[in-house]
Amino acid sequence: MLADPGALDRPARGRLLAGAPIAADLRAEVRAAVEAFRGRHGYTPALAALVLGRSEPFARYLQQILRACASVGLEGREVHVEGRVSAARVRAELCRLNADPHVAGIIVQQPLPRGLSPRVVTETLDPAKDVDGLTPLNTGLVTLGYGGFAPATAEATLEILRRSGVSLEGLHAVIVGRSHVVGRPVAQLLLREHCTVTICHRRTRELVSHTRQADVLVVAAGAPGLVTGEMLKPGAVVVDVGTSVIDGRIVGDVESESAARVAAAITPVPGGVGPVTNAVLMQHVIRAAEVQARASRRAATP
Ligand code: NAP
């Protein structure tokens, strides 16, 4: 399962799968790609973030994204819709960004303000610029294995596993959570890697009977402490996607102390999936820029 199989027999604590070094490698790759893109096309592609009213958590996330853009040489652009956030105004901003040739990728504040249907976004956002995999076209392409953009968090989960030397083929992967942004796309990506996949959710009976079978366990429930060490198969690799704030501290869904005594490897929270997600988003932006530049060159060729 792991590149170092002896790790499974050691009584020591599980290996920590820190996100920072993986994110740093990804950012270095993106930085080189952005530099090459600028040399070929003469402009810096932008990631636009559509901010809808005021949301403290999104504002914090946005600062991280803008820093990530700066660190890889991409332009990070904030676009604010102030006051009453109507469907018509969101559509109008998205259409404007869709049409801007320098904007390669667009992300939209999540969760959306109350009363705004997600369909306003999924039906307007150009799938070519949908770098966080929200649109039905990208969901379909990812499901069919035809490329497309998977949600960055889902892909970050896979990047962590791959770049930590976990050989996935044939493993039983269990995912706790079936959301469209994490659980389901992670399941698709793990299937593509030839895992046997089980998806659990709130109505799953005897969650522990499933988690104990997992060679790879991905927990994306938003339920702090949901998974404890005794719910794990010894030697499992655990990716804790959950992030909740308790008493001002960010915690995951896995009780890290007990889990680290049973697992072969586990991602920390914070410092695991989060940083890799931001780096994957940057990777998606430069990928989108390349595809769009090729398409506009083809369109301009008589
Ligand atoms: P979500 O839309 O609320 O979905 C949560 C999923 O977990 C649902 O499918 C739910 O089941 C399942 N679930 C919740 N409690 C459960 C329980 N006690 N037993 C079994 N299943 C349970 O959340 P999300 O957007 O997928 O996010 C999940 C977590 O990941 C959150 O903590 C979020 O903050 C975090 N997250 C982190 C990143 C990152 O970059 N690190 C990015 C995105 C999200 P039902 O479908 O039956 O309700």
6 pLDDT more than 90: no
Residue 300 lies in a domain: no
What confidence score (pLDDT) does residue 13 get? 75
Q: Determine if the peptide bond prior to 270 is cis (ω within 30°).
A: yes
User: Region 274-293: what's the mean pLDDT?
Assistant: 98
202 pLDDT more than 80: yes
Of 174, 179, 246, which is best to mutate to test ligand 1, by the most ligand atoms within 8 angstroms of its C-beta? Answer: 179
Burial class (CB in 10 A: 0-12, 13-18, 19+), 39: exposed
Whether 169 and 244 share a structural domain:
yes
CA of 175 to the centre of ligand 1 (A): 10
pLDDT digits 0-9 by tens, 246-266: 999 999 999 999 999 999 999
Q: Are 226 and 243 in contact (CB under 8 A)?
A: no
Q: Which range (4-13, 155-164, 235-244) has the least confidence?
A: 4-13
Of 240, 241, 276, which is best to mutate to test ligand 1, by the most ligand atoms within 8 angstroms of its C-beta? Answer: 241
CA of 3 to the centre of ligand 1 (A): 29
User: Region 13-35: what's the mean pLDDT?
Assistant: 96
205 pLDDT more than 90: yes
- pLDDT grade for 14, boundaries at 50, 70 and 90: confident
Q: Which residues pair with 81 in a beta bridge?
A: 52
pLDDT digits 0-9 by tens, 48-98: 999 999 999 999 999 999 999 999 999 999 999 999 999 999 999 999 999
CA of 13 to the centre of ligand 1 (A): 26
Whether 11 and 48 share a structural domain:
no
Count structural domains, the chain: 2
Whether 95 and 174 share a structural domain:
no
Residue 89 lies in a domain: yes
What confidence score (pLDDT) does residue 12 get? 59
What confidence score (pLDDT) does residue 10 get? 43
What confidence score (pLDDT) does residue 281 get? 98
20 pLDDT more than 70: yes
Instruction: HSE, CB side, 13 Å, CA atoms: give it for residue 158.
Output: 21
Residue 28 lies in a domain: no
Query: In terms of pTM, does the model score above 0.85?
Result: yes
Atom of ligand 1 nearest to the CA of 277: 40
174 pLDDT more than 50: yes
8 pLDDT more than 50: no
Residue 226 lies in a domain: yes
Reference 1, options 172, 192, 166; nearest CA is 166
Find the residues whose C-beta lies inside 6 A of ligand 1. Answer: 153, 176-179, 181-183, 200-204, 207, 220-223, 226, 241-244, 273-274, 277
Whether 177 and 266 share a structural domain:
yes
Residue 95 sits in a domain of what CATH number? 3.40.50.10860
Residue 141 lies in a domain: no
pLDDT digits 0-9 by tens, 138-172: 999 999 999 999 999 999 999 999 999 999 999 99
pLDDT digits 0-9 by tens, 114-129: 999 999 999 999 999 9
What confidence score (pLDDT) does residue 101 get? 97
Residue 267 sits in a domain of what CATH number? 3.40.50.720
User: Region 183-187: what's the mean pLDDT?
Assistant: 98
Residue 297 lies in a domain: no
CA of 273 to the centre of ligand 1 (A): 14
Q: Which residue's CA is the nearest one to ligand 1's atom 40?
A: 274
List C-alpha distances in Å: 182 to 31, 40, 90, 141, 176: 26, 35, 24, 16, 10
Full residue range of the structural domain in which residue 177 is found: 5-17+164-274
Residue 173 lies in a domain: yes
CA of 4 to the centre of ligand 1 (A): 31
Whether 168 and 270 share a structural domain:
yes
46 pLDDT more than 50: yes
- pLDDT grade for 5, boundaries at 50, 70 and 90: very low
Q: Which residue's CA is the nearest one to ligand 1's atom 6?
A: 177
Q: Which residue's CA is the nearest one to ligand 1's atom 42?
A: 153
User: Region 207-227: what's the mean pLDDT?
Assistant: 98
Cα–Cα dist 209/203, whole Å: 14
Q: Which residues touch 295 (CB under 8 Å, ≥6 apart)?
A: 128
Q: Which range (6-10, 18-22, 139-143, 188-192) has the least confidence?
A: 6-10
CA R_g for the chain: 20
Whether 118 and 77 share a structural domain:
yes
Atom of ligand 1 nearest to the CA of 221: 7
**What average pLDDT is seen over the chain?**
95
